Structure 1
């Protein structure tokens, strides 16, 4: 590399470095976040701002000292004064504060809690009757200077030294290593070696208040006054007015100080119109006021934090201005609404919105002035395209040609969505409209309407054209349309509902890398005209493999692939080697604001990328991204247990291995990460080792509780992830949950001792018992022998009784058998007597008068013989006797169960048990059939049977 090339490379590197570290953008407005009193629970006015080394921000507020860690606000007050007017934080973390008649410092104790230590008590109250307000605090050469109007109180080596004002101080300012005071008569004086040295010619400003002094190049100072504007000072020329755009603004709106950004820009607060940021030439780069997002126009304090972002203390509230972000915005304050497309043409930035087409001059600087409406474009504008040197607008009113900020002409009155150039037809373009497609021809007068294409009448807003076909996606179908040679009709229209057998539906059509791709479920296909089929592009599909389901893809002028998923935006950034790197987290703050189905990406160059949003236009400078994204810090902000709290992030806390009693085994953690950009997208993940097996999912919640923890050692690990996907290092804290008293180590020793003692006693008792057992064993064996002998005798006696019983039972069975036989025989005799009685009755019916004497005698003799046989038969009494013998057990059980039953009813029960018929029972009991039924009814009633129960079955169950 020769000298000239090396010089160019170094110059390019310096320019690039300058660009990277000059974060203030002059295009659009940065993101502004307002914090109201209801957010921070404090007073209205915020007089001063500072930040500690852990990233926490502090505000001197009317109601006390406010602390903000990105997640929560805390308020600390003076013991005798609520208002804090000044603050300054030293390297050790002490927060010096001053208010009315009080000054001192807050410092974290061993548990991280901020405690206040008063220094004003060291002031001799006899010599100083009134301290008054402490307006400024400075740290210089190990001295802390607290400045009021009458005096400055210098704290060093735990002693207070008083510096009296020559006449009366106004305010004081620390510029580098130089401390300046404004005295109402001497002008600006510099504090050196415990003396106040006036600056030459500074008395010129005695009749106005100085609110800010800032460093400039060549050892110059910029002086900001309340009512006279801006002045510069150097040792040679003294004080002179700073003729600049910034000075005009301050003269008009009055200054309340400001801040310096990287010695390249100056923030100037105003009383009436917010604040401005100007460069060192006085040119205004940004102007932020109530109109474009600030909640209050009076800015009392400004502060540049460690990420080079801007904080504003307002007369009512606090504001965060994300100056270091690569994003700025054009919103309602620029008269923009939903943006569907943007383009730069003829050194103007044109924007298509739902309200019309707007434009702004383009010189890579767009500040607060609004965009201008292109006359004749009021209404819905869908697209803007430059084709063959002409700007075409696809509008609800038709196809419009715009030039010089006006509509030059309308080439068709039908509503249009967009235009495409026709391959192999350089003088023709096709426009998609509300009723299909039309052809436009380039003539000597520019683009002119040629004809409507017949054969398709539906509205079409998503289409592409290759050399063979026009492709359209509509209603989840893909249309392939073959255009006729004369461009007047579609010869063939074919539809597809899927691209392959494995996939259904059509996701999107897009053109990139000179090819048309058809996408469904993140799989990308090309079309083969020769084979009439879709085939997958494995390379592009693999590129989107780990991306959530996408809906739209577009390629910008740099070859980057932008895509939309779940109302979020991502991009595959193409490097010079043709490789792609995915970036999603960078655009997380745009989630929910992307216009669905109308992704608008206008890439002018890497530093100027415009993105259409639902509420305006975003400007993205990708060159600033590397310097903007840094690794966040994370803190376990508070660790609460047993009515005690450990706070991290206020100072260094010794991780002492905190012990928690088991009775209070509930622990509570709150998290913080001092990151203030897109705080709603900051996420946390945690793991309690000893309880959680793995890390928790990422969540925006900054609080976690654990209850009923068992005894043991635990380690709480925490990490955070900012809105750009950058993870912090792990922050951890260890603690131990003590066991309950009955599971304490000493109790286990006691348990072991008790067990050993019990084992010893038991063993000793066992030995004694064994000896006793041996003595009793012999006696027991003798007793067992005698018992066995006695048992054998008892069993022998029992067997003899059993044998005798068996003999008696056998005899009884024989008797019962005989009785049953007698019963049967008796029943036969009873039946015989019944027959004989029947014969007797029949003989009585025979008329014997017609018989001769001999026959008559024989007849009477026969009759008497039969009657004698019947009357002399005692079979019935034998029958009753035998029946009772046979059914003795049954009758006994029945009588025991129903003591009131009569003998007659016992007989009836026996007959019924023998299954005799009513007629047989009537004959045996010598009663009528009705009498038997009546006897049965009475028996059922005495046995307490209902109508459904069977009498005979019941008797058999007894």
Structure 2
């Protein structure tokens, strides 16, 4: 089992032994510049843009945008050289120069329409250089010299690799015959350099009175004082196996050698040490075809597949781990022999260019703190101690997130999964004391007063812990709850000048011991408003994470001088809430999720940043105060000409807006702008304040629907509508007049009809009145006759009574009765009377029968007599009953009509 573990550890060490602290590298693939594979040549123009010969394409990169061009004859471009504002390129039987006009590169051919190339030539221009005041275009067989107006052609008598201007001489490296120099238009062989014969020489460089010859397969030779010998360096043997393609001396006594199969070597002549950047660590491939240098003295490597920008002179170096073996680094510290790293895979050390996992430390490691040249390491499985290259387990305190030094004494406090541990004797770290009363995961801890500890929970809450001299806890208070701060997630502690500040939900607090409440800190809240994380470096330096950007801060009195760390070094690599920084002499080590970076703090006042602005609307360059179409996209390129660590972090505002927006990679994209004049302000930060660097004004045209012609059209349309409305109203008015005339005519006709109807009605009323009069007359006649009959009946009844009382006169009785019988009403007359009576009172009879269907014909006849206001005595003979019979009949009728005793029967019948 042990053998298997040792084998695994050996393999891990073997996989990552080549990792080291390297310059930062930016890789650009074909998908970035949208071109071909090989980059044959690279140069920086006086406009500070980088230019590349990329097979069939000529590339330009200004730090914001990649541009791609082709030659008119679509041939392969092999070489690039810059002179003044011209970018010279060489191709197959073609050479010329490019200039920039209106935001585009324009090509001018020099060789076209000349006879410099014979029909039988199969020439490609592999190199362009300036020697004296002339431009030289070199193929493998010819040299074309251009003086600005004419071309002179020199043919080599031998096959060459490349030409090299060295001091005042032009050296020509042949493929097999050694080195020649050009003199008076002729080529003379240098005889005492015969050792270089049969070598393909890819570079010749002069450095400190020594001339270096870089052969393709036999390493490097050095000439000094006329003596030529192999380069005395351990790197030389490696180069012989690497196939040198290109080499160049740069600033700070560094030599850059690009190879065909082992990437690039950076050799430091001051220390005789080297670093190898290749595919195993950061490059996209190992074949280096060309080397260029920018004005920051950083490198641009043309690869067999892609481009690499290597910041060899940057104050920032990076420890990469592309293998994934290291994992995410949560803490890093330097040792006398190298580096010590705590990661989620365990504890790793890097010593003597060897990188390995320390046995027995697998698992999550959180923090490394240096105490008296010893390293205390918080780990999931306990606390480890690293001393003189040996790691031992100090105790079983799990999850030591952070360690803070007390400002009261020499003790150290450790925040762990289960609370707080105090190491009160730095010389004997085996002694420790657990703080009782708070057994919960604590992320941060601090102390600036005796017998008082501040602790931040790993999730939420800030605690003030008081204890006595025997380390017995007396009080534990949740201060955020006590101060009624509801959002107390992720509290962070920061010690500044013997004062502890608390960062809670992006707001800074200090503790008022009198009111026992947290109070907002005015100084920090005014200077650091959007801080999401903060890490102390030393008494006057700290690191903040604000708006996604890292700043190093130098506290000078009550002023804070800040310096931004470019986002490209850590974009997407910061471990949230686990940002740690370790001071290493003049360098500072910052952990990342795939390694760490080493940076230097320099707060010198930076010189004013010179920037230029190029704005494009619809892919066309526009000048300031130009008018662009409404609702079109405006792409603003903010160009500083700086690609490396000195590249400024810039911000912009629109139309005096207060919000400062970070410019990402120099590109500003503006959409949906309001019409009218707009002003774009570019600002930089000098450490203390934001300064305006440049402005750019542009005009957004009005929408098409507010253009002059559209407004004119609107007026025409409105005028037409008003005219049509007028015409329509006129027509309507005429129609109304006609309609009114017709209406008057119609009303007249109606009036005539109404008058006629009214006359007819009057006539009918008159006739009705006549009829009513006739009816009344007949009614009176009937009543008269009725009354006459009644009187007659009454008379007859009286006579008959008299006769009945005279018993002696029998015969007289008989005669009188006969007369009475003769004078009695006959049946026909009575029927006529009743018929007339019913005709007159027909409506009354109908209404009465409808309301009281139980009434008999005799009842109705009685009702008619009563309605005629006849008395019972008058009614009795008419219905041939006695007076008593009429009264009885009236009584029964009242019951059928449901009348009360007080109601008059005659009045009731008159109301129907």
Scaled by the length of structure 1, the TM-score of the pair is: 0.68
1:260 and 2:263 matched: no
Structure 1 residue aligned with 2:560: 580
For 2:149, the equivalent position in structure 1 comes to 158
* Distance of aligned partners of 1:283 and 1:918 in 2 relative to their CA distance in 1, 3 Å threshold: farther
- The 8 Å contact of residues 165 and 183 in structure 1, kept in 2 or not, is answered as no
Q: Check whether the contact 2:93–2:125 (CA below 8 A) recurs between aligned residues.
A: yes
> What's the CA shift string for 1:809-844, capped at 9, x where partnerless?
9966974994797699799999999x99xx9xxxxx
Q: What is the SS of the residue equivalent to 2:40? A: strand
- Cα distance in structure 1, aligned partners of 2:385 and 2:626: 74
How far apart, CA to CA, are the structure 1 residues paired with 2:485 and 2:706? Answer: 65
For residue 722 of structure 1, report the CA deviation from its aligned partner: 11
- The residue number in structure 2 matching 1:905 is none
CA-to-partner distance for each residue in 1:692-730, whole Å, 9 max, x for gaps? 9999966659586989999xx989968698999997634
CA distance in 2, matches of 1:177, 1:918: 149
Within the candidate set 193, 211, 228, 1:239 is matched to 228
The one of 600, 603, 616 aligned to 2:583:
603
Deviations 1:892-945 (A, max 9, x none): xxxxxxxxxxxxxxxxxxx99x9987979x99xx9xxxxxxxxxxxxxxxxxxx
Whether 2:445 is the aligned partner of 1:470: answer: no
Structure 1 residue 48: Cα displacement: 0.6
Paired residues in the alignment total: 770
- Checking the alignment, whether the CA contact within 8 Å between 1:336 and 1:617 is kept in structure 2 is no
Structure 1 distance, partners of 2:603, 2:145, is 42
Match of 2:441 among 439, 448, 459: 459
Q: Which residue of 1 is the match for residue 10 of structure 2? A: none
Corresponding residue of 2:161: 170
Q: Deviations over 1:21-45 (max 9, x none)?
A: xxxxx98223322222333333222
Could you tell me which residue of structure 1 aligns to residue 825 of structure 2? Answer: 861
Give the corresponding residue for 1:115: 107
Matched residues in 2 for 1:665 and 1:568: separation? 34
Contact 2:172 2:182 (C-alpha < 8 Å) held by counterparts: yes
- CA spacing shift, 1:228–1:431, aligned 2, 3 Å: same
* CA gap 1:573/1:125 in 2 versus in 1, 3 angstroms: closer
| Shift, 1:215, TM fit | 2.8
1:146 matches 2:137: yes
Paired with 1:424 and 1:111, the residues of 2 have a C-alpha distance of 64
Aligned counterpart in structure 1 of residue 299 of structure 2, from 287, 298, 310: 310
User: What root-mean-square deviation, in Å, do the aligned CA atoms of Structure 1 and Structure 2 show?
Assistant: 5.4
Quote how far apart the aligned CAs of 1:143 are: 1.6
Name the larger-Rg structure. 2
Three-state SS of the structure 2 residue aligned to 1:247 is: helix
Summarize the alignment of residues 355-394 of structure 1 with structure 2, pairs less than 5 Å apart.
355-361=345-351, 369-394=353-378
Q: Does 1:225 align with 2:215?
A: yes
Once residues 336 and 395 of structure 1 are traced to their aligned partners in structure 2, the CA distance between those partners, rounded to angstroms, is 15
State the partner residue of 2:864: none
TM-aligned CA deviation for residue 56 of structure 1: 2.7
* Preserved CA contact (<8 Å) 2:40 2:79: yes
Deviations 1:210-239 (A, max 9, x none): 111223123x322211122122234x3342
Q: Distance in 2 between matches of 1:244 and 1:827?
A: 162
Instruction: Give the Cα separation in 1 of the matches to 2:415 and 2:625.
Output: 71
Q: Deviations over 1:326-351 (max 9, x none)?
A: 32211215964322222335554322
1:552 corresponding residue in structure 2: 533
Shift of 1:265: 2.2
- Separation in structure 1 between the aligned mates of residue 416 and residue 707 of structure 2, nearest angstrom: 83
2:114 is the counterpart of 1:132: no
**Structure 1 residue 729 corresponds to structure 2 residue 713:** no
Paired residues for 1:181-580 under 5 Å: 181-184=172-175, 187-191=178-182, 193-196=184-187, 198-199=189-190, 201-218=192-209, 220-234=210-224, 236-262=225-251, 264-280=253-269, 283-332=272-321, 336-346=326-336, 348-361=338-351, 369-412=353-396, 414-420=398-404, 426=410, 429-440=412-423, 442=425, 446-449=428-431, 452-465=434-447, 466-474=449-457, 475-487=459-471, 489-498=472-481, 500=483, 505=488, 507-529=491-513, 531-544=515-528, 547-548=529-530, 550-565=531-546, 568-575=549-556, 577=557, 579-580=559-560
Distance in 2, Cα, partners of 1:682 & 1:424: 40
- Superposition map of 1:651-666 within 5 A: none
CA displacement at 1:518 relative to structure 2? 2.5
Cα distance in 2 between the residues matched to 1:827 and 1:228 = 161
Conserved 8 A contact 1:589-1:678: no
Secondary structure of the 1:634 match is strand
Distance 1:276 1:508, change over 3 A: same
SS in 1 for 2:296: coil
Secondary structure at 1:70 match in 2:
coil
Quote the offset at 1:399 in angstroms. 1.9
Partner SS state of residue 429, structure 2:
strand
Tell me which of 56, 70, 87 is aligned to 2:80.
87
Secondary structure in 2 aligned to 1:371?
Answer: strand
1:865 to partner: Cα distance: 5.3
Question: Does structure 1 residue 41 correspond to structure 2 residue 34?
Answer: yes
Cα distance in 1 between the residues matched to 2:493 and 2:593:
23
5+ residue gaps, structure 1 = 1-25, 649-654, 752-793, 840-850, 884-910, 927-958
TM superposition shift of 1:60: 1.4
- Give the whole-Å Cα distance in 1 for the aligned partners of 2:670 and 2:519: 53
Give me the whole-angstrom Cα distance separating, in 1, the residues matched to 2:268 and 2:849: 129
**Does structure 2 retain, via aligned residues, the 8 Å contact 1:87–1:136?**
yes
Q: Tell me if structure 1 keeps the 8 A contact 2:636–2:667.
A: yes
TM-score in terms of structure 2 length: 0.71
